[in-house]
Amino acid sequence: AQSVTQLDSQVPVFEEAPVELRCNYSSSVSVYLFWYVQYPNQGLQLLLKYLSGSTLVKGINGFEAEFNKSQTSFHLRKPSVHISDTAEYFCAVSDRSNTGKLIFGQGTTLQVKP
Amino acid sequence: GAGVSQSPSNKVTEKGKDVELRCDPISGHTALYWYRQRLGQGLEFLIYFQGNSAPDKSGLPSDRFSAERTGESVSTLTIQRTQQEDSAVYLCASSRLTGSYEQYFGPGTRLTVT
């Protein structure tokens, strides 16, 4: 079984500052890793995913994440945030079976202040 | 093309009543998932359908919950004898092929049990 821990429930940050949202996972098997974003009053949208290959993955809206197998982490980063990045961010894992079902973390609310 | 749609968007029901939630996946998507998002929590996997294979029901919280899907089209999630703890947003997602691992989410149905 897999589990995901998002270490921060809320992250307040000023506009144009860098941000890191932390995600750690636990699994006895190899996994795929995802970050989803949920903007206010909207559905979930995929930000980026790690399936294989380079451990640094780039996603939409200037976000990137790095897969660290030894630390079982998949932290999300952005060098300069905008007000429009205010949203709920979810880290998720999927085992490498054929179901693709996702196990989600509790979510991190990113609050970007002017 | 059209995204995943869900209906109703909001449902208020009395404790003990049955409710039925509907999901229309993206056309051509063979995999369909149901998740539940309780207030302030991450998403919980409920059930997964893939083509004509037997569904993965491992996430259903009790036998009051059931779901059906006809072929690769509409799915309905039914909750019988609703309880207050069933109050949540129920999200549906679909995926083209399990190997792509990108799930497209609907806007959700907000269920409130009074």
Residues of B in contact with A102 (CB under 8 A): 33, 35, 43, 45, 103
Query: E strands within A51-106?
Result: 56-58, 64-68, 73-78, 87-95, 103-104
Is pLDDT of A74 > 70? yes
> Residue written as tokens 């207050």?
B84
The pLDDT value given to residue A101: 86
Whether B10 and B70 have beta carbons less than 8 Å apart is answered as no
pLDDT at B1 exceeding the cut of 80: no
Give residues 36 to 75 of A whose Cβ lies within 8 Å of B. Answer: 36, 42-46, 49, 51
Whether A99 shows a pLDDT value over 60: the answer reads: yes
* Mean pLDDT over the full length of chain A: 93
Per-residue pLDDT of B78-101, as tens digits, reads 999 999 999 999 999 998 865 667
Across residues A101-107, what is the average pLDDT? 92
The helix (run of H) or strand (run of E) holding residue B84 is none
- Cα–Cα dist B29/B95, whole Å: 5
One DSSP character per residue, B29-44 reads --EEEEEEE-TTS-EE
Which residues sit opposite B41 in a β-bridge? none
Q: What is residue A30's predicted lDDT score, i.e. its pLDDT?
A: 85
Q: What is the pLDDT, as a whole number, of residue A18?
A: 98
pLDDT above 80: residue A85: yes
pLDDT band at A14 (very low <50, low <70, confident <90, very high): very high
Measured between CB atoms, does A13 come within 8 Å of chain B? no
Flag the least confident range among A14-23, B2-11, B29-38, B94-103. B94-103
pLDDT at residue B97 in the model: 67
Question: Which residues from A are below 8 Å from B108, CB to CB?
Answer: 43
pLDDT, one tens digit per residue, over B33-82 is 999 999 878 899 999 998 888 899 999 999 999 999 988 889 999 999 99
Minimal CA–CA distance to A62: which of A92, A42, A83, A82? A82
- Which comes out higher in pLDDT, residue A1 or B95? B95
The Cα A95–Cα B34 span in angstroms is 17
Give the residue, A21 or A96, on which the prediction is more confident: A21
B103: tokens are 């799930």
